[in-house]
Structure 1
Amino acid sequence: MIVEIVATGTELLLGQINNTNTPFLSQKLNELGFDVLYHSTVGDNKTRMTEVLSNALSRSDIIITSGGLGPTQGDITKEVTAQLLNRPLFLHEESVTHMAYLFAKRQLPMPENNLRQAMIPEGAYVIKNERGTAPGVILEHDNKIIIHLPGPPHELEWMYEHAVIPYLKTKFGLQGAIVSRVLHTYGIGESSLEEKIKDLVISQSNPTIALLARPGEIIIRLTAKGSASIEATELIDELERKIRHKIANYIWGLDNDTIEANIGKTLTEKKFTVALAESCTGGLVTSRITDISGSSDYLVGSIVCYTNRIKTDFIDVTPQILAEHGAVSQETACLMATGIRRKFAASIGIGITGIAGPTGATPTKPVGTVFIAIDGPAGIQCQHHTFNGQRTDIKYRISQAALHMLREYTLSL
């Protein structure tokens, strides 16, 4: 069964809100084995919405919309569908009763325009909204199915789980299973990564391989379809083994793994503690480490030593080193790592100094120059990077590099 998801709302096209409904529906439908082949977004315009829905009906078996079920004149999804299918609208009394109950419960008068939400196309199956006022709608027409769901994510997700899934299972039974797995890589560019697994990419069928660039990393998404999830999983397992044989050194995690959690697990297992002296990142690396619950077990503390005075007064970077080599240098980064490790009595110290831009560059040190040093049981190590991008992009890439360097350092101990 081919599924198309249509997100409605001019606010989506203007970029005023993020569309989380389409990714949610795609993931959940794939889990049931349905092929989501099309995503569309259309504003609150009758002509354009009619065109989008007509196009969807011509190429898809199931169309699921989100949004446009509210009480205002801009909420036109049901109205457009009713006209397209030549179905009159009628007032659904049960929905009116439900809405009246919700307003009374909040001790608010119900505006008359809320009755628009209870106008339902003839012959539709009505989905009660237990999280809001707008009911959902399921329409069957010429072997096609249109499902209208509300825009607020907490309403849509509840309605999908409690009404749409049972409907689809009853109507179509099991559609097999679509299983995806994500391999997280670091330290290799997208083109170089593709080159290393090019033979697998060229020969792909089921499972499929997709390389996706993310801030500071490249992920490999494997997707397989089988008669059951176990069959699809076995197909992915086999492909993953082939990929690991080629690029194992670059893969650091799977699926929802995060580098912060990965590091925390290793530090906890090895009973190491860490302290940080951050300059250009302004505490970003520390913040990311503390995103993990329980990080107090291994994070001792940190200092944002943004100025040279703080570097010299608090973590013993010598004025001589600053004068000879500059604040952004390997020598300074190493002293920062050693100084913070000693001051905080941590197993591992990290020093980060760089130029996040857009100002501060010199002929020999362009924007994006950074030195990251680690001092610990294996001695001092320092990496020199040059990152591109805007200031916030560079800061995030530096934090990625620092976290991965910490990971590799702790794993080597």
Structure 2
Amino acid sequence: MKAEIIAVGTELLLGQVVNTNATFLSEKLADMGIEVYFHTVVGDNPQRLEELLQLADTRSELIILCGGLGPTDDDLTKNVLADHVGVPLVQNQEGLEALNGFFAQRQGTMTPNNLRQVETLQDGIPLPNRTGLAIGCLYKGEKNNYILLPGPPSELKPMFLEQARPLLEKEFPATEKLTSRVLRFFGIGESKLVTELAEMIEQQSNPTIAPYAKPNEVTLRITAKTEDEVSANALLDQTEAEILAKVGEFFYGYGEENSLVEVVVDLLKEQHLSITAAESLTTGEFQATLGTIPGVSEVFPGGFVTYSKETKASFLGIDPALLERVGVVSEECAKEMAEAALRLADTDYALSFTGVAGPDDLEGKPKGTVYIGLAQKNGETLVAENHFSRDRSYVRHSSVMKGLDMLRRVILNKN
């Protein structure tokens, strides 16, 4: 089934609201074997919406409209669709009871325009709204099918998952479904990754391979179209094995919502290991990144931010004469910082970050020069010299990601 998503709302065209609904719906529809061919945004204008519906009718079997179901004068999506398919709007009794209950509970007065929210298309299947007041609808026409969903994601997502998706699966059972797997890579750019996999990408059919560049990493989505999950996984396993045979050294994990820091924290927890850090140019960004993971206190007792020479000496105990001789942007400084942090925090590992975030050079070193140290309780201290590009923020983020990957590789190599 070919589907199309139409987002309605002038605020989307003005850039005041980001259209996250289209991303969510496309992903969920793909999981059901429904392919989305078009995304369109239209303002709160009935004429332009009608023109868009006429176009959508010629190219899509399922048309999903998001937004414009509220009580105000510019919420006209239901009215336009009702006129388009030639049926009247009718009041939904269940929705009306919920609406009356809402105002009764708050001891407020309901204005008449609120009744628009509980109108739905005659002969349509109403979609109750558990988290809001505007009723959705599934309307089956002779050639085209339409779904009306509210605009706020907090209402759209539960309505689709709990109401619309089960109805679609019942009314339009799919013989084939799409099953995807996301592979995550660090340390290789998108262009290099695509070059290494060029032959596979050129010859792809089922599964398909789609690369996506993210900040300081790349993901690959491999998608199989099959009638059952077992067959899909067999195809995905085979394709994944071929991919990892070519670029496996850069692979670190699975999943759209996964991250390098999650993988590293999980490794530390599994191995009952601990980490600390001494940061200069990253000013605590590495430790803040660790702090985004629930339960990180099991492996991270705390750390140090030593931005100046004075704090490197006073907090970490580094010899000021050494800092004057070799400078803070140096392999020696990174090594001393990591080893001092390891000793003071009594952890299994300690990372250090020192360098030049920019925009100016420092100690004769160009911006983007970063030394990352990794001290180990039972092993030698490693120091990596890096040369990152772009602005201060990107240099700091690149440093954090590189440090996480250094730690991940050391843990894996020891096991």
- TM-score interval w.r.t. the shorter chain? over 0.9
Counterpart in the other structure of 1:118: 118
Instruction: Give 2:294's aligned amino acid.
Output: S
Whole-Å Cα distance in 2 between the matches of residues 99 and 58 of structure 1? 37
Tell me the TM-score normalised to structure 1 length: 0.94
Instruction: Give 2:320's aligned amino acid.
Output: P
**Does the Cα contact within 8 Å between 1:316 and 1:335 map onto a contact in 2?**
no
Counterpart in the other structure of 1:79: 79
Q: Is 1:405 equivalent to 2:406 in the alignment? A: yes
Counterpart in the other structure of 1:354: 355
Whole-Å Cα distance in 1 between the matches of residues 391 and 35 of structure 2? 38
Instruction: Give 2:117's aligned amino acid.
Output: Q
Counterpart in the other structure of 1:196: 196
Whole-Å Cα distance in 1 between the matches of residues 201 and 292 of structure 2? 35
Residues 127-165 of structure 1 deviation map (CA, whole Å, 9 limit, x = unaligned): 222221100022222321010011122322222223212
Whole-Å Cα distance in 1 between the matches of residues 380 and 207 of structure 2? 44
Counterpart in the other structure of 1:129: 129
Residues 307-358 of structure 1 deviation map (CA, whole Å, 9 limit, x = unaligned): 2211110112222232233222222111111111111122212110122233
Range 28-37 or range 84-93, more displaced = 84-93
Q: Is 1:279 equivalent to 2:270 in the alignment? A: no
* Structure 1 SS opposite 2:278: strand
Counterpart in the other structure of 1:146: 146
Q: How far 1:386 moved relative to its partner?
A: 2.2
Counterpart in the other structure of 1:103: 103
Counterpart in the other structure of 1:338: 339
Counterpart in the other structure of 1:205: 205
Counterpart in the other structure of 2:28: 28
Instruction: Give 2:97's aligned amino acid.
Output: T
Gaps of 5+ in 1: none
Q: How far 1:362 moved relative to its partner?
A: 4.2
Task: Please report the RMSD computed on the Cα atoms of aligned residues, expressed in angstroms.
Answer: 1.9
Map 1:12-411; keep pairs closer than 5 Å.
Answer: 12-255=12-255, 256-358=257-359, 360-362=360-362, 364-376=364-376, 377-411=378-412
Whole-Å Cα distance in 1 between the matches of residues 401 and 333 of structure 2? 20
Gaps of 5+ in 2: none
**Does the Cα contact within 8 Å between 1:129 and 1:136 map onto a contact in 2?**
yes
Instruction: Give 1:297's aligned amino acid.
Output: E
Tell me the TM-score normalised to structure 2 length: 0.93
Whole-Å Cα distance in 2 between the matches of residues 361 and 372 of structure 1? 18
Q: 1:270 to 1:131 in 2, by over 3 A?
A: closer
Q: 1:90 to 1:264 in 2, by over 3 A?
A: closer
Q: How far 1:253 moved relative to its partner?
A: 0.6
Q: 1:308 to 1:246 in 2, by over 3 A?
A: same
**Does the Cα contact within 8 Å between 1:190 and 1:218 map onto a contact in 2?**
yes
Whole-Å Cα distance in 2 between the matches of residues 272 and 98 of structure 1? 53
Q: How far 1:94 moved relative to its partner?
A: 4.5
Number of residues of Structure 1 aligned to a counterpart in Structure 2:
412
* Structure 2 SS opposite 1:69: coil
